[in-house]
Amino acid sequence: MHIPDAFLPIGQAIVYWIIALVFFALALRWAKRELNEARIPLVAVLAAGIFALQAFNLPIAMGTSGHLVGGALAAIVLGSPYGAVFILTLVLIIQGFIFGDGGITVMGANIINMGVIGGFVGFYSYKGLKAALGSPYISAGIAAWLACVIPALAASVELFIAGTFPLVPGLIAMGTYHAVIGVIEGAITAIALYLIATVRPDILELPAGAVAS
């Protein structure tokens, strides 16, 4: 759901950039407080893995493809939505400036959608679902589905405000495609969380079986 440069007028794009930079500043504060010698390599590997997975578009029928976004995964593994903001902002900067994937002027909007909304929706729905359901993996899968669909709907509203998409058809199409793409997001997030919890349960801020306070 990387928005290209052509889709947002520059004035609106600047507003999204300012909001995104505020959240990235908060993410830097999180990094200063929470990251240590043991967790920094994990953050770097997560970024590399999310970059690779974002390049892997899987067919979802309807003449459309989709890939993992990774906001929920990063937030759940690092135990904070700011972990997602930190990683997704840097990955989106690399994708935009080096690979032309996602625009430059609109990068703030992409950071808000995938990093901020994806991270916050993924993290807090995971916490709530895990308290209710118990299973960290089912909770992570559903949370990741939400963290794919809700940013997609946010993007369609932003593109409506920009005058690029009509509101209802945009919401219907973005919602339909990302409801299916979200299944990929959910499955990969649950599998990745399982793999990490299996080899290093201590790294997870919210370890399997524990309910976050």
Write out the binding residues for another protein, residues 55-94 only, by CB under 8 A: 55-59, 61-67, 86-87, 90-91, 94
164 contacts another protein (rule: CB under 8 A): yes
Contact residue for another protein among 18, 111, 141, 155 (CB under 8 A): 155
For residue 59, the 8-state DSSP code is E
Nearest to 46 by CA among 25, 67, 76: 76
Q: Which is nearer to another protein, 106 or 143 (CB)?
A: 106
**Closest separation between CB of residue 71 and another protein, Å?**
15
Element of type H or E holding 65: strand 65-66
**Closest separation between CB of residue 171 and another protein, Å?**
9
Residue type, 40: I
Pair 207, 197: CB distance under 8 Å: yes
47 contacts another protein (rule: CB under 8 A): yes
Show contacts with another protein in window 171-190 (CB under 8 A): 172-174, 176-178, 181
| Helices and strands counted in the chain (H then E) | 8, 2
Q: Which is nearer to another protein, 96 or 122 (CB)?
A: 96
Contact residue for another protein among 42, 153, 191, 212 (CB under 8 A): 42
Cα separation, 202 vs 190, in Å, equals: 17
Measure CA 130 to chain center. Answer: 19
Contact residue for another protein among 11, 18, 132, 202 (CB under 8 A): 202
45 contacts another protein (rule: CB under 8 A): yes
In sequence order, the β-bridge partners of residue 59 are 65
Show contacts with another protein in window 108-147 (CB under 8 A): none
Nearest to 86 by CA among 103, 65, 71: 71
